[in-house]
Chain A
């Protein structure tokens, strides 16, 4: 028996189901009772009950594209802040594509503290900090654009079903958007007004992620602002 309806708000400790169900994400099970772990919206998939969280830190996952900032330089590697409880390492040999020798090369000449990169997580588990790679299309050092922060748990909402939200944002404003799974969004656009508008729209998604019909509202907001401005 499930105590809530689909997409209803639940709070930590709420009894969400009793009986033969499987605890999905952000749900835990004590005997045959399922309880919520976080504030979020409940959803089911057959016997599986899970919660789409409304807030929380980014936990790295292998394969995720993230936007990070270099915070420290080691011997043959950089330490990258990826807006998570765990900082990532980026190997120098990964960037240069050949074995790195500190004798002949200087790391700071390639990437310095404060530089922003788009990377992909290649390995992460409980015992080791995540490692990054910048090999791949669209990855590497960021030289222009602005970065907007949103709650990392709301990234799926910003992308939308089959990228519906993301496509709306791109089409309406004509800006290029790179979404980091860690809650950092890179915007590149020629028209400053459009960039400004896009930031507003992203903020709107962040604040209203738990409501329905958001894509249409964002679309209406953008097209009316573009016409009016």
Chain B
């Protein structure tokens, strides 16, 4: 691997952030007129657009469940979203992330209110720079709220990782590739529930607990931004 330093002598990271600092986040809600709900997020250099349709009639009909709505999720990276052109066909990684995001959002949705129907979530990554699944979850929960789908809480997500032996919040792509560990979590702050927790790399038990608390704290900050964004949409008129 390269000898590039991830943390300089002042304790700042490559992009000038402190270890406990998240990248700047910008939201926009309701930008797609044809979708029932939509959201756009800029999380650092991640640019993601999410569209939500539903609850609507199941198509094909046989996938419907008698006691709750089916949630379908498609996470897709645009061919131009990465350094090297990505094939537009869904890769193994995209299929897995689709499933993971669906399972992170499903506990927040009152699916039992809409038996025999389905809710579709389409996530399109326009530009990616590490932590895109977290940004996608954050944006998708905004899009769900915008669609008027009953939710237990908004879901905020953030990653925490280890670079050069130190815990750092919200890893970027390079930090993720050169670092020692990466752990994305999705959190429902007002209920105190975690709906996604993945980890690759190595953490000691102590580090894990500390990392989890750091991520929860970051999710709270993101949660406040989510709320601000949703509110501003209606207050401004």
Interface set of A (CB-CB < 8 Å, partner B): 9, 11-15, 26, 28, 30, 35, 37-39, 53-57, 59, 85-87, 126-127, 151, 153, 207-208, 210-211
Closest to B228 in A: A11
Q: Is the CB of B117 within 8 A of A9?
A: no
**Contacts A11-B227, A57-B36, A57-B56 given; 6 further ones with Cβ under 8 A?**
A12-B152, A30-B191, A85-B54, A127-B115, A207-B237, A208-B237
Residues of B within 8 Å of A53, CB to CB, are 148
Q: Is the CB of A15 within 8 A of B190?
A: yes
In the assembled complex, the Cα of A56 lies from the Cα of B150 at a distance in Å of: 9
From the candidates A57, A153, A210, name the one contacting B234 in the complex (CB within 8 A).
Answer: A210
Is B149 an interface residue, CB under 8 A from the partner? Answer: yes
Contact bitstring B48-83, A, C-beta under 8 A = 1, else 0: 000000111100000000100100000000000000
Chain B interface size, as a band, is: 20 to 34
In the assembled complex, the Cα of A57 lies from the Cα of B150 at a distance in Å of: 11
Q: Is the CB of A12 within 8 A of B37?
A: no
From the candidates A13, A86, A126, A211, name the one contacting B152 in the complex (CB within 8 A).
Answer: A13
Closest to B66 in A: A127
Is B231 an interface residue, CB under 8 A from the partner? Answer: yes
In the assembled complex, the Cα of A153 lies from the Cα of B36 at a distance in Å of: 13
Q: Is the CB of A57 within 8 A of B237?
A: no
Q: Beyond A35-B153, A85-B56, A85-B117, is A11–B237 a contact (Cβ under 8 Å)?
A: no
Q: How far is the CB of B131 from chain A (nearest CB, A)?
A: 22
Q: Is the CB of A26 within 8 A of B150?
A: yes
In the assembled complex, the Cα of A100 lies from the Cα of B120 at a distance in Å of: 39
Residues of B within 8 Å of A127, CB to CB, are 66, 115
Contact bitstring B142-162, A, C-beta under 8 A = 1, else 0: 000111111111100000000
In the assembled complex, the Cα of A2 lies from the Cα of B159 at a distance in Å of: 34
24 A-B residue contacts at CB 8 Å?
A: A9-B234, A11-B227, A11-B230, A12-B145, A12-B152, A13-B152, A13-B191, A28-B110, A30-B191, A37-B151, A54-B148, A55-B36, A55-B148, A57-B36, A57-B54, A57-B55, A57-B56, A59-B114, A85-B69, A85-B114, A85-B117, A86-B57, A127-B115, A210-B237
Q: Is the CB of B150 within 8 A of A38?
A: yes
From the candidates B69, B110, B117, name the one contacting A37 in the complex (CB within 8 A).
Answer: B110
In the assembled complex, the Cα of A54 lies from the Cα of B146 at a distance in Å of: 9
In the assembled complex, the Cα of A37 lies from the Cα of B188 at a distance in Å of: 13
Residues of B within 8 Å of A15, CB to CB, are 190
Residues of A within 8 Å of B153, CB to CB, are 12-13, 35
Is B235 an interface residue, CB under 8 A from the partner? Answer: yes
In the assembled complex, the Cα of A178 lies from the Cα of B66 at a distance in Å of: 34
Residues of A within 8 Å of B191, CB to CB, are 13, 30, 35
Contact bitstring B25-65, A, C-beta under 8 A = 1, else 0: 00000000000110000000000000000111100000000
Residues of A within 8 Å of B54, CB to CB, are 57, 85
Is B107 an interface residue, CB under 8 A from the partner? Answer: no
Q: Beyond A39-B148, A53-B148, A56-B149, is A13–B114 a contact (Cβ under 8 Å)?
A: no
Is B116 an interface residue, CB under 8 A from the partner? Answer: yes
Residues of A within 8 Å of B115, CB to CB, are 126-127
Q: Is the CB of B55 within 8 A of A85?
A: yes
Q: Beyond A9-B231, A30-B191, A207-B237, is A86–B146 a contact (Cβ under 8 Å)?
A: no
Residues of B within 8 Å of A12, CB to CB, are 145, 150-154
